[in-house]
Amino acid sequence: MRISELSQRTGVSVATLKYYLRESLVPAGVPVSATRADYGESHVEQVRLVRALIDVAGLSIERVREVVHALSDPPTSRHELLGIAHAVLRSTSHDGAATDAHDRQLSDQLIDRLEWRVPDDSVARAQLGAALDRARRDGLEISDETFAVYARAALLMADQDVRDELGLESAPEALRYVILGNVLSDPVVIGLRRLAQEHVSAGKFGGR
């Protein structure tokens, strides 16, 4: 397909597609003349991935390059693959920011209490510490009971997310699924939480 058709298939303007190509976020097409190249289904998938990372996840161009690099040389271990996905999707607002030592200790204690198998250098562990620190600084104390409820819900979602079929897919396909799965489903989870709050509130306090 020509770049105009690639634009139609993905909903991304030709000018933006050319920018993706210049920044090496999307591989070049197959040249058919001095001014024309052909693109395939792999380009459609790549453009959709890049668009989701930029528009939905809010990642910088530099971070998207990390994703592209990871996809070009993913680890064979599915567990390591998940770690790569979490690393490239780490919170932009906390890049290079040190987590409060007291709060990191608190998050470590909470995780140890759950008896979850999470390494000390886990990106998600650091993000949890930063989130707890931010909540505490802004006046929200999350009790142990509330944290345990959140953890049970998270475990149910994780069991659904980390599906057995990941072991049957190629490493790049599995990594693409994990990255897109996190980026595109996070807003769904947030929306469901808001709806559930409305439902419970109506039951407890009245309302339609």
Residue 99 · residue 126 · CB < 8 Å: yes
Quick check: helix, strand or coil at residue 134? helix
Residue ranges and CATH numbers for the domains of the chain are 1-56 (1.10.1660.10), 57-205 (no CATH)
| Close Cβ partners of 38 (under 8 Å, ≥ 6 residues apart) | 1, 2, 29, 30, 32
Percent of the chain at pLDDT exceeding 90: 38
Give the pLDDT band (50/70/90) at residue 40.
very high
Provide the mean pLDDT of the chain.
Answer: 86
Give the pLDDT band (50/70/90) at residue 106.
confident
Reported as a single tens digit per residue, the pLDDT across 121-138 is: 888 888 888 888 888 889
Which has more pLDDT, 95 or 80?
Answer: 80
Rg (CA), the chain: 21
Give the pLDDT band (50/70/90) at residue 150.
very high
Per-residue model confidence (pLDDT) at position 128: 87
Query: What is the distance in angstroms between the CA of the first residue and the CA of the last residue of the chain?
Result: 51
